[in-house]
Structure 1
Amino acid sequence: MDTLIETIKKELRNQTTIPYFGLGVFEGITTKEAEAVPHDSDSLILAMNGGRAMSPRLMFEYSRAAMHLEQRRGVEYMTQLMNHIYTKPFDPTPLHKAITDMSPRYIIDTNRDTKFQELLAYTPHCLIIGKSRIMGDLNRYEVYEYDVENQKYFLVDEEVLGTAEKILFKPMGSPLPNPSFVISDADYVDWLTEAMGGFAVPKILKTYRKTKKYLFLGTSFDRDTDRMVANELSLDLEGGYVITDKELGKKEKKFIEKHNLEVIPMSLPEFIKAFI
């Protein structure tokens, strides 16, 4: 196992494996006010609903619960709510720091926090923010370039990605530079529909990602939404790794086999301890 982990580290450093972050990386992490950071669907629903559980139908998946709240309170309310949840102060996790230190050119972060952006605050980089339900453009993303001197993001043409030294892709949104999130069923339906048409990933990345491996960290494939998102973001992959010690369901096994992924049977905390 130690040899495999060293191999993964080398692949991250030499840009042949792309790190892919999911909600599970926040398990056990708390804010500076000692509140738990959402680390799975249930905890995200609780965070959205003031700590209260919702009906079993809505507790099935956070996008469904978010859709219910959106229908009652509106899109702007959901944006403000997600911004509130993910701007509560907490430190980047040891895993965020370790991955950043390995200096991969391209990171996919499906979470909605700003930890990688904080760690890259003194590093020139490009940021891709996923968008949904926007009018007048099929592309479901915006590309920004970071000005280190002024600590600001500027909207740019996607061609700059061709020469970018670092690229952070946040397909489900972020509070920065402007709060924008893919969170409800309606958001996901729109994003995935355009993703399947080829409009959720910049062309330059479609070329760059060919034959790359992926390291799935804190990512679960037990929900259709998560599998579909991962599938669209990792097209043309060479294979990769999934860190989990949980028993896998039928659909998870099928996804893992189809994408030629190797399961590393460790809990994420065990992997992090061996990794950093």
Structure 2
Amino acid sequence: MTSPLTQLPAEIEAGLRAGRVVPYLGPGMLSLVPQYAVPGTPEALVALLTAKVSVPHKIRSRLTQAAQFIENFKHRKTVVDLMNNAFAAAPSASPLHAWLASLNLPLIVDTWYDEAMSTALHEAGVKWGEVQGLSQSEHFGSWTGWYDRDGNPLPDRAPDWATLLYKPIGSTSPAGNYLVSDSDYVEVLTEIDIQTPIPQEVQALRSGRSFLFLGCRFNDQLTRSFARQIMKRSSDRHWALLPDEPTRMEAKFLAEQNITRIALPLDSLAAVSAQAA
């Protein structure tokens, strides 16, 4: 399959092919999969949740606060059911997802709840499995859940996996694991500085590697906190596709983490992927 990275520095593709660059995917990747009808932004997701359950007006557009209100007044099970419904559409993947899946990358980080990347890995026929972040309200004392490519739970990573998919805030499949409410994030952020919620396997695989951020924004403290901690003790050089002018806090974060901004739209890569598919 032809590389979609022709407009990017050659060292990025070389690093991906050599396993030295880790793709770090955000919800913006779903803009490449229009036939996969699930929410592709926190704003779209909270709109779905609050359309089903009434929440105070002042938090209607704030995902974690709205989810916490629903959890407090309608029970955690209601939150999980709403999330399952929001992401219930049959999954699909873009050519860019498929290209990444074809590389047998040691590690892919995916920071949204959808199944596009796991679908691409499954369709590529590679040996892979995933590890997901778990809510302490449902799995007290366990920070992560491991699953093989068919969704079967495992105690740990299988030795024959070529690719590990890390879903730090959970996923709709196979078990409806979600970090989404304020309390979910408070529990994780309390420990993430000392890396407890991040699997040892992920910590080992990130060592010395660079990150390529695709479909991510850093205009929220939570996304910055997760990225900062997941990148800890990795390489000192990274890249992010960020076509829009960064906010002041985004620019500060990029400089702090030595992330080079590439001012290209994500669909510029997708177009090449589609032609190559």
TM-score range, shorter chain: 0.7 to 0.9
What is residue 96 of structure 1 aligned with on the other side?
Answer: 97
Which residue, out of 207, 214, 218, partners 1:217?
214
- How many equivalent residue pairs? 267
CA contact (8 A) 1:46 1:52 kept: no
**Change beyond 3 A, Cα 1:22–1:152:** closer
Give matches, 1:205-244, under 5 Å: 205-238=202-235, 239-244=237-242
CA distance in 2, matches of 1:268, 1:30: 14
Which residue, out of 14, 17, 23, partners 1:19?
23
What is residue 7 of structure 1 aligned with on the other side?
Answer: 11
CA distance in 2, matches of 1:78, 1:137: 17
CA distance in 2, matches of 1:144, 1:274: 32
CA distance in 1, matches of 2:20, 2:273: 17
**Change beyond 3 A, Cα 1:94–1:51:** farther
CA contact (8 A) 1:22 1:216 kept: yes
CA distance in 2, matches of 1:208, 1:176: 23
CA contact (8 A) 2:134 2:169 kept: yes
CA distance in 2, matches of 1:128, 1:266: 30
**Change beyond 3 A, Cα 1:39–1:177:** closer
Query: Gapped runs of 5+ residues in structure 1?
Result: none
| 1:195-254 alpha-carbon deviations (Å, 9 max, x no partner) | 223211122321221121111111110000110111111111222111111121121111
What is residue 265 of structure 1 aligned with on the other side?
Answer: 263
**Change beyond 3 A, Cα 1:138–1:242:** same
**Change beyond 3 A, Cα 1:91–1:275:** closer
What is residue 65 of structure 1 aligned with on the other side?
Answer: 66
Deviates more, 1:84-93 or 1:222-231: 84-93
CA contact (8 A) 1:21 1:110 kept: yes
Helix, strand or coil: the match of 1:108? Answer: strand
Query: Gapped runs of 5+ residues in structure 2?
Result: none
CA distance in 1, matches of 2:57, 2:215: 24
What is residue 107 of structure 2 aligned with on the other side?
Answer: 106
Q: TM-score w.r.t. structure 1 length? A: 0.86
Structure 1 outlier segments of 4+, above 4 Å: 51-56, 134-139
**Change beyond 3 A, Cα 1:204–1:73:** same
What is residue 79 of structure 1 aligned with on the other side?
Answer: 80
CA distance in 1, matches of 2:231, 2:16: 16
Amino acid at match of 2:259: L
| 1:12-58 alpha-carbon deviations (Å, 9 max, x no partner) | 111111001111112264346xx5x3222211212223389976632
Question: Structure 1 residue 3: deviation in Å?
Answer: 6.0
**Change beyond 3 A, Cα 1:256–1:56:** farther
CA distance in 1, matches of 2:259, 2:62: 24
Q: TM-score w.r.t. structure 2 length? A: 0.86
Amino acid at match of 1:263: R
CA RMSD of aligned residues (A): 2.6
Would you say 1:176 and 2:173 are equivalent positions? yes
Question: Structure 1 residue 261: deviation in Å?
Answer: 0.5
Amino acid at match of 1:156: P
What is residue 155 of structure 2 aligned with on the other side?
Answer: 156
Task: Provide the identity percentage.
Answer: 22
Helix, strand or coil: the match of 1:48? Answer: helix
Question: Structure 1 residue 95: deviation in Å?
Answer: 2.1
Helix, strand or coil: the match of 1:30? Answer: coil
CA contact (8 A) 1:27 1:38 kept: no
**Change beyond 3 A, Cα 1:248–1:97:** same
**Change beyond 3 A, Cα 1:89–1:17:** same
CA distance in 2, matches of 1:3, 1:93: 18
Helix, strand or coil: the match of 1:117? Answer: helix
CA contact (8 A) 1:140 1:194 kept: no
